[in-house]
Chain A
Amino acid sequence: MKSVFSPERIGWLLALIVAVLLPLVVGGYLTSILLLIAIWSIVAVSLNLLYGYTGQLSLGHSAFLGIGAYALGIIGVKLHIGFWPAFFAAIAISGLFGFLIGIPALKLRGPYFVLVTLGFAAIVGVIVLGWTQLTGGANGLAGVPRPTPIPLPFGKTLRFDSLLAMYYFTLFFLVLIALICHRLVRSLLGRTFVAISRDENLAEALGINTMQKKLISFTISALFSGVAGALYASYNSVISPDIAYFARGMDVLACLIVGGAGTMAGPMIGTFVMTAIPEALQIVPTLRTLINGFILLIFIIFLPTGIAGGFKALFARRRRSLSSGMGRNGIA
């Protein structure tokens, strides 16, 4: 059994400490970038549940990002409902869309499923741009609410008006969603997800209701992407159609592949690398797509399991060589 202080847990703890302390040291600009990394990480983590662990590749997660963002925007700006009910409604709406799209889409397999998700993302992109009365069209929506203060005991309040507070608010959801995904994947339910990703026909023959399990995974994944969309809308306070642009779904997938699909740390590592490298090199935005495409290509060819997958294989090999060196009972 794993001890409380396994190397894995220490790694996660260190990463969390750095994520909490870093914005206190670096300036506002870098904090805003860290915040965006956290938001895109949420999308990557949610896509990882669907693609990495359930084997269903969606290129349409920009749609759920957009739905989450616009749902919060429309409910908050047009209906003048307070932030918290609007926020949770936006999340629920994203999940509902995931459920409704999942029912027909998941009946298809392989490339056909991928195409349906891509088509859905394109449709959402067109609606966001075209339905001007609802979405503001190309002008977008301004004045999306920030989280309203939460009263705490002893007369204190939790306020969200600073950049730092928004960062911690986002980080909270990233940690929460990553933990939920971790629990899901390790559970007996998660094992059926993994079984489907490995061999759908065998899973079905063993009595797994593959359609139902895929739908659960898809709905949760859509819901979490909606959280990221709502967080983005709230942080930015202005949303424009580019949040729902379908190419964003592919950017997320690129992050996932670079980091390592089907691993817990992969989506976050990938998002960090794919955002931090162009940022650190101060590359102009048009070149970024080119550089990111180049990085993705390198990974697909040389390390298809991604950074986290590569580390995993490295450790597994070390453990094997250790155990063979020490005889059969060397390491249990």
Chain B
Amino acid sequence: MALLEVSGLVKTFGGLTAVGNLSFSLEQGELVSVIGPNGAGKTTLFNLLTGAYRPTAGEIIFDGNDITGCKPFQSAARGMGRTFQKTTVFRDETVLDNVIIGQSVHLKTGVWGAIVRTAGTRREEERVREKGRSILDFVGLANTEGRLAGNLTEEAQKRLSIAMVLAADPKLLLLDEPTGGVNLEEIGGLIELVKRIQQSGITVCLIEHKMRMVMSMSDRIIVLNYGTNIAEGTPAEVASNKEVIEAYLGARRVA
């Protein structure tokens, strides 16, 4: 059974159709890229999947549950993690605190536990710190835990924003341009990180514009244009698809 199954997804803003009748599925453990020209509806799709937007029509089945119309915190609690195009970390908090906040879906400390600092609360704090450190280690930020997140480089902030999402133990990771705004020579490291995440068993779906990167790392590619998927398949299939070449790649070759 597919991890994520989207059928007939529609989102209109007034008269504008951002996503129109979109259907696709993601298999467990895949790395799938969503590509398409600007305004094709890629980020809108992510917003629909996580529940930031409410779909006008359609159905989203995630891990066997219907999550259509869920709120973002609910889809996150069910194991759908996402990062944003604009790098988002809590700039005024330390790096470690950022990954601790990322573990929110698992936190059990309530008002009473916080006030009296029960043994369970202290154990949880210790556990959360340990796990935070191991995740920072995994994403390659081991020596930065005490620094303010806002003082990190753009590339390190990208890593941190991924670490924050990983902290919730997601089953599916939605990455919105994980290499956007990062220096060319730093991209390789981020690609390597995304691959390691996939190898650890997490299904990854990413939005990207960098074609060479998409072609080399994706198991499958979904091509969006005007809110619908005009093609879907392996990188080789997509690259030879006529419609794709016309709508997207072809436009580049002409230019």
Contact = CB atoms under 8 A, between A and B. Distances in A.
Interface of A: 180, 183-184, 187-192, 194-195, 198-199, 201-210, 216, 220
Contact of A188 (B73, B92, B128): B128
23 contacts: A180-B115, A184-B111, A187-B114, A187-B125, A189-B110, A190-B114, A192-B107, A198-B90, A198-B93, A202-B88, A204-B71, A204-B72, A205-B82, A206-B73, A206-B101, A206-B102, A206-B164, A206-B165, A206-B168, A207-B104, A207-B105, A208-B104, A209-B73
B190 interface: no
A206 B97 CA distance: 13
A183 B50 contact: no
A9 B90 CA distance: 27
Nearest to A220: B111
A107 B82 CA distance: 23
Contacts of B128: 188
B74 to A, nearest CB: 8
Given A188-B124, A195-B101, A206 B111 contact: no
Interface in B54-96: 71-73, 76-77, 82, 84, 88, 90-93
Interface residues of B, number: 36
Interface string B18-53: 000000000000000000000000000000001010
Given A188-B125, A198-B93, A206 B117 contact: no
A202 B110 CA distance: 21
B115 A191 contact: no
Nearest to A182: B115
Nearest to B114: A187
Contacts of B165: 206
Contacts of B100: 188, 191
Nearest to B91: A198
B113 interface: yes
A199 B90 contact: yes
Contacts of B90: 194-195, 198-199, 202
Contact of B73 (A183, A194, A208): A208
Nearest to A205: B72
B48 to A, nearest CB: 14
A66 to B, nearest CB: 25
Nearest to B79: A207
A184 B115 contact: yes
Contacts of B125: 187-188
- By Cβ-Cβ distance, the 7 closest A-B pairs, closest first, are A207-B76, A187-B114, A207-B105, A188-B109, A204-B72, A208-B104, A189-B114
Nearest to B75: A207
Nearest to B90: A198
Contacts of A194: 90, 93
A199 B114 contact: no
Contacts of B198: none
A205 B114 contact: no
A108 to B, nearest CB: 16
Interface string B143-185: 0000000000000000000001100100000000000000000
Contacts of A202: 84, 88, 90
B241 interface: no
Nearest to A188: B109
Contacts of B17: none
A198 B148 CA distance: 14
B121 interface: yes
Given A191-B100, A195-B90, A199-B88, A204 B73 contact: yes
B149 to A, nearest CB: 10
B97 to A, nearest CB: 7
Contacts of B82: 205
A189 B107 contact: yes
